[in-house]
Amino acid sequence: MTSEVADSAEGIAISPAADPGFLQRYGGTIEYIVIPGAALVGALGVFGIFVALFGKNPFDLYFYMYQGAFGTWFSWQNTLTRAAPLILTALCTALPAQLGMVIIGGEGALLIGALASTAMALAMQWAAPFGVQLAMAAAGIIAGGLWIMLSGALRQYRGVNETISSLLLVYIALAILNHLVEGMMRDPTSLNKPSTHEIGAANMMGSIPGTDVHWGLVFGILAAIASYILIYHTVFGFAARVAGGNIRAAKIVGLGVGKLVMTICFLAGASAGLAGMVEVAAVQGRTNANLAAGYGFTGILVAFLARQNPLAVIPVAILLGGIGASGGLLQRRLGLPDASVHVLQGIIFIFVLASDALYGRIGFLKGKS
């Protein structure tokens, strides 16, 4: 055997995973896939044990979860419909995270965006449907953006922790919604569940052709792609990541940290506000307490599971949307409460937080022998 043939055979025999250079280059990327995946599998295992304690077969659980989420075209459409607001509310957490901020107020921005878009639609009944929808989107984006920007302003200029302020603003938003829906914006004909007047069938957002999935999914995907480009392929995004890594160094080199904080928080709130507009224009047709469905809180889990990457938010939101969509089938086939999927989401969140300590500590992914 010649030396050339021997070298070739040796090169073929060494797999990329066993190549220290390969692991040094791509170990971090592999970690971002393997660790969240392992956390998800571990959470499903614990949830299976939890269900087994109630006399249910865990394998039946996993089968019906798959069927309810992805088993049929109807399931897929239900999953994608639920994923649309999750993508947008996840961006409300993922974008500020680039600056080292932990914003968990997407639910509040969604509610405020829904209220603003509903008010705009009711005030523009004379306008063409397309104009009403554009005005609703603008109102939802601006209202949601200003709502989360308030958390950014409190952090930047008053030193208030943004995690606490954004969470408290959720309850303020819910109080405002209840006050308006049960007061000056209430439709007198809504007796059992107070609601605003309907925005009108003509002003409702249609579905993507050939599906029952509304256009909110497209809005979410475009927003995630635009966010990725903004953060990773623009000077603004580079400045935000520099400030997120070391805010003191960012100030020393002259970066406008205050402007970065306010802009990022506005964009984050705008995405959640758009989710509120979509829920009104594509699902509810009016504003009521049904809008507080927890999309904003589930979006936090989506963002953490996606490691705050705007592009990774898309498949993770579809996965979590599928888990939520499977709740009804689990209730019908296994007799589990529909809210049992929220227990699973809580377990996933705990596992994701716990797995955060593993990043950078898996020796073989560093290319070590």
User: 331 falls in which pLDDT band (50, 70, 90)?
Assistant: confident
User: What value does the mean pLDDT take over residues 161-175?
Assistant: 96
Q: Would 115 be classed as within a structural domain?
A: yes
Q: Would 368 be classed as within a structural domain?
A: no
Residue among 89, 53, 82, 48 at smallest CA distance from 65: 48
Supply the pLDDT for residue 275. 96
Q: How far apart are CA 314 and CA 153, in angstroms?
A: 29
Q: What is the CATH number of the domain that holds 96?
A: 1.10.3470
Radius of gyration of the chain (CA): 23
Least confident range of 17-21, 58-62, 134-138, 280-284: 17-21
Q: Would 365 be classed as within a structural domain?
A: no
Say yes or no to pLDDT of 264 above 90. yes
Say yes or no to pLDDT of 20 above 70. no
pLDDT tens per residue across span 130-147: 999 999 999 999 999 999
User: 251 falls in which pLDDT band (50, 70, 90)?
Assistant: confident
Supply the pLDDT for residue 369. 41
Average pLDDT over the chain, rounded to whole? 88
Say yes or no to pLDDT of 254 above 90. no
Residue among 359, 361, 268 at smallest CA distance from 313: 268
Supply the pLDDT for residue 169. 97
- Judge contact between 93 and 310, C-beta under 8 A: no
What is the DSSP-derived secondary structure letter of residue 14?
S
DSSP 3-state of 298: helix
Supply the pLDDT for residue 302. 95
Q: Which residues contact 210 (CB under 8 A, 6 or more apart)?
A: none
Q: Which two tokens stand for residue 267?
A: 């964009």
Say yes or no to pLDDT of 1 above 50. no
Q: Would 344 be classed as within a structural domain?
A: yes
**266-282 in b/e burial notation, b at 16+ Cβ within 10 A?**
bbbbbbbbbbbbbbbbb
Instruction: Look up the domain containing 58 and give its range.
Output: 2-358
Q: Would 175 be classed as within a structural domain?
A: yes
pLDDT tens per residue across span 65-116: 999 999 999 999 999 999 999 999 999 999 999 999 999 999 999 999 999 9
Q: How many domains does the chain have?
A: 1
Q: Would 124 be classed as within a structural domain?
A: yes
Q: Would 48 be classed as within a structural domain?
A: yes
Q: Would 364 be classed as within a structural domain?
A: no
Type of residue at 360: G
Say yes or no to pLDDT of 9 above 50. no
Q: How far apart are CA 211 and CA 208, in angstroms?
A: 6
Supply the pLDDT for residue 25. 61
